[in-house]
């Protein structure tokens, strides 16, 4: 294993940039992958976001481009990087630009949610590196604006997420258009059988690099698990956000919902309660998502409600609190989510809520991380009944998914329907609303004198339960 970047067989321009960036020691995935890729090997990599995998493929590809300068060909690219989301495409393109500062190359991005005319224009004279999402790429191919016959390097990034988002058919269509002679790189956070099967159809005698996921991040992130009935989750969330806002080092918060519908509903409820919050998810336009993220980074929007897909690749250093309002139904997503805090050496707090229909998700998460998430039984909405169900091996009946209602943080089993009194959802431990009052706006919180009945909204008395 190569100990330093300086010792790698990289071109001088790349070594200069890495030195200026103060990158001296490669991460485990970089130390293993870069030498193999410099040899021209296909690669099957199992590595998660945050391990340095983007540099592990961007650096050797830039090295090849630097050493073999060619004129770009109309509508073609030498390197195609396929990503599942627009946000990840932006991060990958940024990495290529950063590492390739002293390499002569052209790159562009192709993704949906924005007008296609600039993308068509960029491809007209060809590029060295094309970073794209599947849907828009196929649109432009079908229109005759992109030709993949000249691809020398093909990178399929975050394959597990690609399949989760239903891109398998699109990926296969794209692969069928690639030349047989190419170097292919395949990265996934997990290597489930369906992922390995896909890899076998794309890669030729690949080298395999597996980086054990850092599933225990307790050194920087304090984790807590709250058993709470779904109808009381909103009250608990407000308590958590209020404590966060009053902290000496008040920082940003990300709240995770399992679905787009749920994230919209949750952001609306928080806004009605006086919080400045906004949702990002796949149905938002690219411009809306970028605008919301920029406001979040600046602290203008201190609370961001996100789905897994939208938050993938979001790297904001000042996130002090992550709340899993809905537990993820994929255990790996738990690690990705809590990793949004505790970044750049800072301390972070990750609090997860578990309702009855999420007990099995909790078991799967704890099997993955091989640890028990510390329980918080001191909060006002704690449910002993759920603790007993978890301990006894209770398995909630499977419910038919549809519209994001049950799984998206809205209307789940045990939750309230619109217009139903929140007090009807109190748990047997005493219940009550500890949602904190915010200055300005409409508040859902305890009244003076200790009353636990949620205050009505000033807009006419409608109550939110998410």
- Do you know the residue count of the chain? 466
Provide mean pLDDT across the span 205-228: 78
Q: 248-278 pLDDT, tens per residue?
A: 666 899 999 998 899 999 999 999 999 999 9
Mean pLDDT of the chain: 81
Provide mean pLDDT across the span 454-466: 32
Q: Is the pLDDT of residue 176 over 50?
A: yes
Regarding predicted confidence, which is higher, 253 or 465? 253
Give me the half-sphere count of Cα atoms (radius 13 Å) on the Cβ side of residue 276: 12
pTM over the 0.85 mark = no
**Residue ranges of domains in the chain:** 12-210, 221-425
Q: 385-405 pLDDT, tens per residue?
A: 999 999 888 877 665 444 333
Asked, colleague to colleague, whether 12-210 and 221-425 share their fold, the answer is yes
DSSP 306: E
- The reported pLDDT for the residue numbered 455 is 33
Q: Under CATH, which number does the domain 221-425 receive?
A: 3.40.50.300
Q: 112-169 pLDDT, tens per residue?
A: 988 999 999 999 999 999 999 999 999 999 999 999 999 999 999 988 888 877 889 9
pLDDT band at 436 (very low <50, low <70, confident <90, very high): very low
Of 96, 20, 27, the closest CA to residue 60 belongs to 96
- The reported pLDDT for the residue numbered 392 is 87
Fold classification of 12-210 (topology level)? Rossmann fold (3.40.50)
Q: 68-108 pLDDT, tens per residue?
A: 999 999 999 999 999 998 888 999 999 999 999 999 999 99
- The reported pLDDT for the residue numbered 408 is 36
**Burial annotation 86-105 (CB, 10 A radius, 16+ → b, else e):** bbbbbbbbebbeebbeebeb
């Amino acid at each position: 294993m190569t100990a330093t970047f300086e010792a790698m067989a990289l071109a001088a321009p790349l070594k200069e940039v890495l030195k200026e960036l103060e990158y001296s020691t490669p991460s485990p995935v970089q130390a293993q992958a870069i030498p193999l890729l410099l040899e021209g090997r296909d690669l099957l990599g199992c590595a998660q976001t945050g391990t340095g995998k983007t540099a592990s493929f961007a650096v050797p590809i830039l090295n090849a481009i630097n050493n073999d300068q060619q004129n770009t060909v109309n509508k073609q690219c030498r390197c195609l990087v396929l990503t599942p989301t627009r946000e990840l495409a932006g991060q990958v393109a940024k990495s290529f630009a950063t590492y390739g500062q002293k390499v002569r190359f052209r790159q562009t991005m192709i993704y949906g949610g924005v007008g296609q005319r600039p993308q068509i224009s960029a491809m007209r004279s060809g590029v060295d590196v094309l970073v794209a999402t599947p849907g828009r790429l196929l649109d432009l191919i079908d229109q005759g604006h992109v030709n993949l016959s000249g691809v020398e390097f093909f990178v399929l990034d975050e394959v597990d997420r690609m399949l989760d988002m239903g891109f398998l058919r699109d990926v296969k269509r794209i692969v069928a258009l690639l030349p047989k002679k190419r170097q292919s790189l395949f990265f996934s956070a997990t290597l489930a059988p369906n992922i390995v099967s896909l890899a076998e159809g794309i890669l030729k005698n690949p080298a395999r690099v597996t980086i054990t996921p850092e599933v225990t991040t307790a050194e920087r992130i304090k984790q807590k698990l709250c058993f709470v009935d779904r109808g009381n989750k909103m009250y608990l969330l407000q308590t958590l956000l209020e404590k966060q806002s009053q902290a000496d080092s008040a920082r940003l918060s990300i709240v995770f919902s399992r679905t787009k519908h749920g994230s919209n509903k949750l952001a609306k409820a928080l806004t009605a309660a006086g919080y400045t919050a906004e949702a990002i998810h796949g149905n938002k336009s690219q411009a809306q998502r970028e605008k919301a993220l920029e406001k979040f980074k600046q602290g203008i929007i201190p609370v961001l409600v996100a789905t897994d897909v939208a938050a993938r690749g979001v790297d904001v250093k000042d996130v002090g609190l992550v709340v899993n309002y809905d537990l993820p139904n994929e255990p790996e997503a738990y690690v990705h989510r809590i990793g949004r805090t505790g970044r750049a050496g800072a301390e972070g707090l990750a609090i997860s809520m578990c309702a009855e229909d999420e007990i099995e998700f909790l078991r799967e998460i704890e099997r993955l991380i091989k640890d028990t998430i510390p329980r918080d039984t001191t909060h006002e909405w704690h449910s002993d009944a759920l603790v007993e169900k978890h301990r006894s091996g209770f398995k909630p009946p499977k419910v038919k998914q549809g519209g994001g209602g049950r799984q998206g943080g809205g209307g789940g089993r045990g939750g309230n329907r619109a217009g139903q009194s929140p007090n009807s959802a109190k748990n047997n431990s005493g219940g009550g609303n500890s949602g904190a009052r915010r200055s300005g706006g409409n508040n859902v919180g305890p009244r003076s004198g200790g009353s636990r009945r949620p205050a009505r909204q000033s807009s006419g008395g409608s109550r939110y339960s998410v």
